[in-house]
Amino acid sequence: MKNNNLYKYILSITDNTLILGQRLGELCGHGPSLETDIACTNISLDMLGQARNYYQYAAKVKGGNTTEDDIAFLRKEHEYLNVLLVEQPNTDFGYIMARQFLFDVYHLFFLQELQKSKDQTLSAIANKAIKEVSYHYRFSSDWIKRLGDGTKESHQRTQNAVDDLWTYTDELFHQTETDKAMINDGIGVDTLKFKSEYYERANKVLEEATLEIPESRYFQKGGKQGMHTEHLGHLLSDLQYMQRAYPNMKW
């Protein structure tokens, strides 16, 4: 494929939104309250819609008979390039909001930069998505504050979630060879440019939420190279079920 780097780069962006969208979609009918249930599935819908835009573009870049559905639903686990953070399972609401918050902060900065991409389609998708993601960020940062500065129980649970998930934040800024090539071409986003701002903003909200900022220096990565935690396989068996049981369905 002529544009292999571009293809892989698009996947590395959109797999994040697909997988997190799927995680949130799992809450449909299972949210802790009606309002939060609807909010999480609304956010999921935004993310799946964004994913679809990227996958349509990826299918075009790959060419041949590839469709958006093939790319979204028929790859094997190691071919998904999402970061480890987004595949972490839903445990309690504190955990779900911490995962969302740590991703939303990144997502906002990322889309801000992607809007400036030389690639017109990526820039257009970012331009559309950033408006939606600002709502996501409002929602998750708001909940971090409410839970962190809430009851003893909600504080402790959210603190545990932040401590656990912090391990996966450094990977957001890890640059693969594909990333580097795309940055050189003016298409990809140089995530290192906003790394310190990311932590500043995240820390500020955590402080406001009376939560401790984790001091851990141990970080995990691998998702961007297709090495995932055990959770992704289980998620995919659910995600891919329809397409595999009834081939050629369109989403």
Partner 1 sequence: MSELKNISSLDSLPLGEMSDRTEWVIGKNLIPILNQVLDPEIPVLTILDMGVVRSAIIKDDEVIVKITPTYSGCPAMDVIGEDIIIAFKNEGYNAKVELVLSPAWTTDWITEKGRRSLEGYGIAPPLDAIADKEVLLGGKKLVKCTNCGSTNTKLVSQFGSTACKALFKCSDCQEPFDYFKCL
Residues that bind partner 1 (CB under 8 A): 35, 38-39, 42-43, 45-50, 52-53, 56-57, 60, 120-121, 123-125, 127-129, 131-132, 135, 138-139
- CB of residue 30 vs partner 1: minimum separation in angstroms? 16
| Residue 26 token pair | 């799992």
Of 46, 180, 53, nearest to 107 (Cα)? 46
Q: Which is nearer to partner 1, 56 or 82 (CB)?
A: 56
Q: Smallest gap, in angstroms, from Cβ of residue 43 to partner 1?
A: 7
Q: For residue 51, what are the contacts with CB-CB under 8 A and spacing of at least 6?
A: 14, 17, 18, 21, 72
Q: Which two tokens stand for residue 10?
A: 């698009």
| CB-based contacts of 167, cutoff 8 Å, min separation 6 | 216, 218, 219, 220
Q: Is 247 left (phi over 0), alpha (psi -120 to 50) or beta?
A: beta
How far, in Å, CA of 216 to CA of 181, rounded?
Answer: 31
Q: How far is the CB of 125 from partner 1 (least distance, A)?
A: 6
Measured from the CB of residue 139, what is the shortest distance to partner 1 in angstroms? 6
Nearest Cα residue to 50 out of 106, 133, 138, 140: 133
Query: Would you give the end-to-end CA distance of the chain in angstroms?
Result: 26
Tell me how far, at minimum, the Cβ of 148 lies from partner 1, in Å: 18
> By C-beta, is 126 or 206 nearer to partner 1?
126
Residue placing its CB nearer to partner 1 in the complex, 35 or 230:
35
Residue 127 or 237: which CB sits closer to partner 1? 127
Identity of the residue, 59 or 83, whose beta carbon is nearer to partner 1 in the bound complex: 59
